[in-house]
Structure 1
Amino acid sequence: MRAFSDLEKQLVRKMVELEDAPGHLNSLGNVIGSFYGATKLPEHCYIELISKSDVSIQVKKQALDEYGVEWINSIDEDISKKLITIVALFQYLENEKLAYFVGELGLESLGEVWADTEYTRCGFLDDDLKPLIFRYSRKKIFVSETLRLLEANGFKTDEELRHEAEIGSMGKQLKYTRLALGITIIGLIVSAVLPMFLTSSVDIKNIEAASGQQSLEAIENQLHLLNEHNEAMIERLESAILSLQDSVDSAASALSESHNKKMQPTADGGG
């Protein structure tokens, strides 16, 4: 499933909203009101639907005379881009069976047509776009439960939701691994230092009873034993730190790799 643009998300939300609103018709004319306001289209124009090959933008003659050609070009560009986006979205939803377009409404226009107002026909719409606008403008829209669930989940697919759950789980694992590393280091430091104080205290009392050369030899022997003990504890401490650090690095690497895969664009992504 491809990604959705912000405008497409807005349109889908409006489709779901209309589906759930009693007495409201879920149709293209009402859907585009989500970004054109109550008038559905800019207040000075509407889209006339005569046939599949005869679809045009009708602009109030008074507005055209007042604002000029540059204004009408901007109106055309705005309407054309949004209609192309809508048509492409509807085609995708229909092909993927995410929405169904049924019936025949028999509408002759999109937007509000003012009585006793003279309009000027503007043939800006592409010929390939006209039959699609004509078709979707006259259909009722029914939203599938899949699309409804997708909208409720912020347009995240099942795969994306599973990925986020995996990222969260790996983040917790990394946190606990770091905590274990800290506790282990503290424990090893205590186990290395505490015997030194206890051994030194006992042996020094024993040595106090000796004298002369024997005292010196006893002290040297005791220092040698303490040195060997310290070296062994340091090796154990370094080994434990390296082992736990490898675990942290492995978890962090897996987390980073999973995040990078999530950020890679898909072949059919866009919007």
Structure 2
Amino acid sequence: MRLSKLLSDAPAAATMQVDGFLDGRALKWGKHKRIKVGKVLRNFHCRTCDTQRTFVSGDELSCLGLGDNQISIDATLQCIECQSSVEIWFLIGSNGDISGVAPEVRIERYTENLRDRADRIDSHRGPFSDLVKRAQLAYENQLGAGSIVYLRKIFELVTFGVAEIAEIETKKNNGNNQPFALVLQQVNEVRNIIPRRFSSDGYQLFRELSNIIHGESSEEEALQKYKPCLQLVLGVVDEVSRDNEYARAIEELGWNVENISEITGGGVA
């Protein structure tokens, strides 16, 4: 298998054996080399075309040596229709000599610079898409608490946005903000923005996010909690009624939920 196949499937982290691409010679640290490993193909939503398109790299990719077991690869991809370009970067690792005839390699880090020209096919769309994108990028760069900051910001914006529409007072007489728990309770009484039974109280999600941000979870724990927290926050944004998905996310977080079977088997919460 050529290295381009592994790169095209990013961010899959599986270790795969690929055809040698460094001609059997170690690429010293800090040295660049152009490599021919096949074209990298990635599907994005092209903003110029306003539809899904395949973005393709050139015949050669730029490779930077980082030692016997790691290399960095930069690639520029163009939309096959309008030639809009984006950049992607890979950190490739190997358990053995990466310059071998058939090295076993894996993608250790993957970053995209879509430059407002394209979006991921599965990316969230809507008024909070930029914050979701930033959260996802922070997560992919192993910034657990950083990714959660954006999720809490989305939750706050949704809650205060609904409060404004419903003419719910969010300020005290002295001009300071009302406690978030109080605002959330009042908002939820007017318009149920969170499933009534996904926790014992609606403030649980905000408390979970805040505890991570304030250092009560390690970075590893924050990264583990990111996906279920993302799912719940997007559920608030989209008012999703797929209760079985909420239940799975709650179980992953280890929240104490009574009668969770009613969520997985019931109707809209």
Whichever structure has more helix as a proportion of its residues is 1
Q: Which has the higher contact order (CA 8 A, sep 6+)?
A: 1
Whichever structure has more strand as a proportion of its residues is 2
TM, length-normalised to structure 2: 0.23
* Bigger radius of gyration: 1
